[in-house]
Amino acid sequence: SYDAWILNDLTAGGEKTEVRLPSTPSALFIPAADGDSQARKYVPEFLKREFGFSPDDIIGFLTKLDQKKTDIAQVKEVDWFNSLGSSWLYVLSSLTHNYGPNYPLYMQATSFLDKQIQTFLGSYTELKHDTLLYAKQSYAEMGAGGDSRPIPPVVKGFVEPNLEFWHRFNNLLNRTDELYQANGLFTDSNAYDRLRQFKEMSLFFTSIAEKELKGEAVSDDEYETLRTTKLSFMAQPFEALDPSEKSGQTALIADIHTDALKGQILYEATTRPYLMLAVVADDGSPRVVVGLAYNHYELTDKIDRRLTDEDWQKSVYKDNNLLPEKNFWYDSLLIK
């Protein structure tokens, strides 16, 4: 895989290498090699903190990292879409770049670039995880009748207008659709219908994002569709399951590197998502919009055991005091 290619070429054990390489990488290396200058900015501090790299060591490493960036840039789009895993990485690489004056002000902030690193690495954690977690959802419909009240004002939602992301994501969905059909997958379930519905939703979100960037008006009907569109059907199990204590617990952990030299394992993990608030002013309507954002951790632990989802979820949901310190590259996102 492309992420393994990056990490393997940027780490070394006890063998002698042309430039000094760490024995344990950081997942930061992946967006940095994908061209994210913000992630690259944090690499020297990581090397200094974790491995005591000297200034000359850091210069040598960054030279090798930049060469890997050149190699990755030469990968053709058709090759990225050879597998769903590499397609996923290709979609994520659209998140981490500078956002110019046509974008909302909050997307132009430096802290937003840090938030995008967290989104990249949070989703990358899910990519590396070998289990999909489904949460059973409960539903309740409003009853009819009641007193007559004035029609409330239109609720104006918002789609983060990263068109490169949306176009790549739509391509990924199309590729998934093709693989479903070519391999006869999920012919006896409603998975294919869910995928087709999800594709339609994604195209709708893309159209809203395009209007926002162009400064075009979003109609009341479109805002209402945006308000009432729900994605919970994508997480519903195909068969009815009784809710359990873990229903809705989405925190997970995945090991991505074993360092025999230091006797440790590198993990990527997610916890309860953040609630993100942003001020936008498209369509002549200044307002605060709300959405969920990844809460990502990178950590190491002893090599004599491997952390499981159960271990990690106990730390997340039962005793937050057991969570490690947040990684330094997320400092701009935290209130201390």
Query: Across the beta sheet with 296-302, what order do the strands follow?
Result: 252-259, 264-270, 296-302
Query: What pLDDT, on a 0 to 100 scale, did the predictor assign at position 236?
Result: 59
- Is residue 22 pLDDT above 90, yes or no? yes
Query: What pLDDT, on a 0 to 100 scale, did the predictor assign at position 246?
Result: 67
CA–CA gap between residue 117 and residue 96 (Å, rounded)? 7
Query: What pLDDT, on a 0 to 100 scale, did the predictor assign at position 185?
Result: 79
Q: CA–CA distance from 104 to each of 70, 108, 210, 214, 322 (Å)?
A: 30, 7, 13, 12, 37
Per-chain mean pLDDT for the chain: 85
- What kind and span of H or E run contains 297? strand 296-302
Say which range, 3-7, 132-136, 156-160, 284-288, has the weakest mean pLDDT.
132-136
Cβ neighbours of 299 (radius 10 Å): 17
Scored b (16 or more CB within 10 A) or e, 169-184 reads bbbbbebbeeebeeee
Contact 154, 66 (CB under 8 A): no
Mean local confidence (pLDDT), 289-316: 92
What the block records as the tokens of 301 is 């632990």
Query: What pLDDT, on a 0 to 100 scale, did the predictor assign at position 283?
Result: 75
Under DSSP, the state recorded for 264 is E
Contact 266, 259 (CB under 8 A): yes
Burial degree of 46 (CB within 10 A; 0-12, 13-18, 19+): buried
CA–CA gap between residue 257 and residue 264 (Å, rounded)? 9
Mean local confidence (pLDDT), 286-309: 92
Q: Which of 86-90, 189-193, 239-243, 244-248 has the highest mean pLDDT?
A: 86-90
Contact 147, 66 (CB under 8 A): no
Please give the angle made by the CA atoms of 258, 83 and 75, to the nearest 5 degrees.
85
CA–CA gap between residue 267 and residue 256 (Å, rounded)? 6
Q: How confident is the model at residue 131 (pLDDT cuts 50, 70, 90)?
A: very low
- Is residue 231 pLDDT above 50, yes or no? yes
CA–CA gap between residue 259 and residue 81 (Å, rounded)? 30
Query: What pLDDT, on a 0 to 100 scale, did the predictor assign at position 63?
Result: 96
